[in-house]
Amino acid sequence: MNLAAFEQDQKTYDAVERCLERISEAAAKLGDLASALMPEQPWHKVRALGNRLRHEYDAIRADRLWAIVQIDLPALCAACEDALRRVREAKGP
């Protein structure tokens, strides 16, 4: 999928918005733990994105959402997977 297809596919667009809201909410619930486990991630921006999606939805640019999914999200996912692995290893078998 490219940006043009993303902009035209309302279901996918809405799903991306909703999933980014969930990520933002999870970051808020994790609070300081998120920063402790993954200090290199821009948690303030992650949390702020959720607020923008909920309250300024009419000003969200499709190209920015697309960039988040294509550029920012893979690094966040990799960092989360690494943090989960470290937490599981610390707990032991």
Q: Would you state the structure tokens that stand for residue 3, as one six-digit string?
A: 């940006």
| pLDDT score, position 16 | 96
- The pTM for the full model equals 0.86
What residue numbers bound the domain in which 25 lies? 3-91
Tell me: the pLDDT tens digits for 51-67? 999 999 889 999 999 99
Q: How many domains does the chain have?
A: 1
User: What count of other Cβ atoms lies within 10 Å of the Cβ of residue 24?
Assistant: 21
| pLDDT score, position 4 | 96
Q: Would you say residue 93 has pLDDT above 90? A: no
Tell me: the pLDDT tens digits for 2-43? 999 999 999 999 999 999 999 999 999 999 999 999 999 999
Please, which residues have CB within 8 angstroms of residue 52's CB and are 6 or more apart in sequence?
59, 60
6 to each of 18, 54, 73, 91, how far by Cα in Å? 14, 20, 16, 41
